[in-house]
Structure formats: structure tokens, C-alpha cells
Amino acid sequence: MASDVWVYVDQFQGNALPAAWETLGAAGEVAADLNTGVAALVFGHDVDELAQQAADYGADKVFLCDDATLADFRVQAFGCAAAKLAAAEKPQVIFAPATTRGRDLTALLGVELGIGVVADGIALQVEDGVLQVTRPVYAGKLHATVSAPGAHPQIVTLRPRAFPRPEPTAGSAEVVQVEAVLAEEDISVKVVDYSASASGVSLTDASIIVSGGRGVGGPEGFEPVRQLAVALGAAMGASRAAVDAGWIPYSHQVGQTGKTVSPDLYIACGISGAIQHQAGMRTAKVIVAINKDAEAPIFKLAKYGVVADLFDAVPVLTDEFTRRLGE
């Protein structure tokens, strides 16, 4: 059987992101509806183990491009290799998680192949052999179902945590070795170093996020937010207002101009809930708002609301969670 549905396996230093396996699971269902197989694109350096993991998560075929030039993600190197492969193999659909690297790669693929990209899918279905993708529009207030029947391949990114991650089983897949396209001297970007985030939990992959906004009042005001995040094993987020004020790095920003997240639990501390912020977190399963302004827009979105000063409420929550989770 041909493997005409492809998935880019997003990885960092040999470790796949959970969103990669979520995307592979969703792609497998689409492939079954299209009566074809699913192939994983595993690009990197010393990533043989990822090829086996892709098989365990349901890939029928793995295109393995293992080269020193791919040790770090550089969209020029990854994108040119993927575009050349797609032009030769002509898949029906190429999926990628809507992560930073996934978005970069699919954008370049779209340019190289002359095809548009359907971004941020949250549901998939196949009707009459055509893939239909549901995605949020108008800052998440509406959902649109779109298709591109004339596009070959269709290129689609899927929102992390919008699809369940399949359970891995002992799988086997045909592994096809792929050559890198660009030599090191042809790649314009060089990676010099990495700096670790202050929080060890990725915002995009986090099941719990605790965020602070303008209401924290300054950099020191994020300390109770951080303590609550630590107690819950959560990632720490922020509104644009807090980031623009220089109180916390941009990497924590949630919203239309930051990261889009879909955690199981989102706790908004001192965040008024501007529409731009809601666009990045409104798909959270449970939203808890803590704000001393009872008229704050965030309360219209929240399942649970606490009208209180965050500096009074958050430490109480932290102490209670620490006590209960420590039992």
C-alpha cells in the first residue's frame, strides 16, 4: 500500500514533541479514510530511534534523513529536503504539528511547492475523498471547515493537544533513507547556542498553565504565579501586557501574537481577558479566572471565577494544592 499521508515528526535534540505523536495519530485516521498508508518524516542527526518510535505510533513508512547538517532545526535545510522529497513522491497530504518548527517548515513547503497551508486544525474528516479541516477563526469565536481539493499535496498544521496521543505498540515500518539537500556552506543560518527556559514545562505541551497579566503589577508580582505553577507542575504563561511591560520574557506570552495553547486547566491571574489573549487560550478545557475586577471579560469565558486580589487568593491556592498533592 502506498503511504500518501505524511507527518513531519517535530523533534528537538532527538526527542519528539508530544504534538508530533498526536499529529501522527490523527493522520493515521485520515489515511485509513483515504485508503492509504501514513509516512513519518524523521529529519535530524542521530535520530534512528525516532524512526522506530514513529513505527510504534502508527507509521507504515519512515522517510529518514539523518545528517549532521540537520542536527539543529534550520528551516532552510529541513524545508528544502522535505520539498524535494514531496516533489518526487507526490503525497496527498502533509501534516505537521502547529509548533514553532512545524509552522516554519510548512510555510516554506508551501512556498517551495506553490501551495497554501491550512493552519491550526482542531478537527479532521474525509468526505468524498477530500480532506476537510476545521480550524478556529475570528480569534477563536467561530470555527470554519475548509478544504483544498485542488491542492496536491494539501499541507495542514494541527493544533497541539487538539487530538489524542495514541498508545504506542511494537510496530514496524519500511525505512527509506533520504539524502540531505544542502551542504553546510549553503545554509545561511548557524545555531550558536541554546538557553534553557526558566520553566521546565513547555507552554504548548502543558496540560496545566498558570498565567499572569497586568494585575501582577511588576516582575516581582509573578512570584506567586510561579509558586502556584510549581505546586501544580504547570507551565507559566503571561498576557501581552505583562510581556510588553518587560516583566516576563516573550516566550511565556499566550494570545494572538504569542502562543496558542489548549491545556486541560488554565488559571488566569490578574488577566482582564482581552480578545487577543482569549484567542490563544479559549480552547482550554477548564478556565479559572482570578481578578479583583468583577466586570473583567475573562469571567465570561471562565468556568470558575474568583473575584479577589490575586496576591490574597493565589497563595491560598498554592498552599492548599501543596498540602493536597503532597498527601
Instruction: Judge whether 100 and 108 are in contact, CB under 8 Å.
Output: no
**Dist. CA 228–CA 320, nearest whole Å:** 10
pLDDT tens, 142-160?
Answer: 899 999 888 889 999 999 9
Looking at residue 285, its pLDDT comes to 94
**Dist. CA 80–CA 101, nearest whole Å:** 14
pLDDT tens, 16-75?
Answer: 999 999 999 999 999 999 999 999 999 999 999 999 999 999 999 999 999 999 999 999
Torsional sign, CA 268, 273, 274, 279: positive
C-alpha count within 13 angstroms, C-beta hemisphere, residue 92 = 21
> Is 5-186's fold the same as 208-326's?
yes
Looking at residue 125, its pLDDT comes to 95
Identity of the amino acid at 211: S
For helices 222-232 and 310-326, what crossing angle results, to 10°? 20
pTM: 0.84
pLDDT, greater one: 127 or 2: 127
CA distances from 15 to 49, 60, 217, 311 (A): 9, 20, 37, 38
- Whether the pLDDT of residue 10 is over 70: the answer is yes
pLDDT tens, 198-210?
Answer: 556 788 889 999 9
Would you say domain 208-326 falls under CATH 3.40.50.1220?
yes
pLDDT tens, 235-255?
Answer: 999 999 999 999 999 999 999
Name residue 135's beta-bridge partners.
144
Looking at residue 213, its pLDDT comes to 97
Q: Show Cβ contacts of residue 198 under 8 Å, excluding neighbours closer than 6 positions.
A: 236, 249
pLDDT tens, 73-121?
Answer: 999 999 999 999 999 999 999 999 999 999 999 999 999 999 999 999 9
Looking at residue 150, its pLDDT comes to 81
Instruction: Judge whether 284 and 305 are in contact, CB under 8 Å.
Output: no
| % of the chain surpassing 90 pLDDT | 86
**Dist. CA 80–CA 250, nearest whole Å:** 29
- Whether the pLDDT of residue 197 is over 70: the answer is no
The highest-level CATH class for domain 5-186 is alpha beta
Q: What residues does each domain of the chain span?
A: 5-186, 208-326
CA distances from 98 to 7, 14, 18, 63 (A): 12, 19, 12, 20
Average pLDDT, the chain: 93
Helix (H) or strand (E) holding 231: helix 222-232
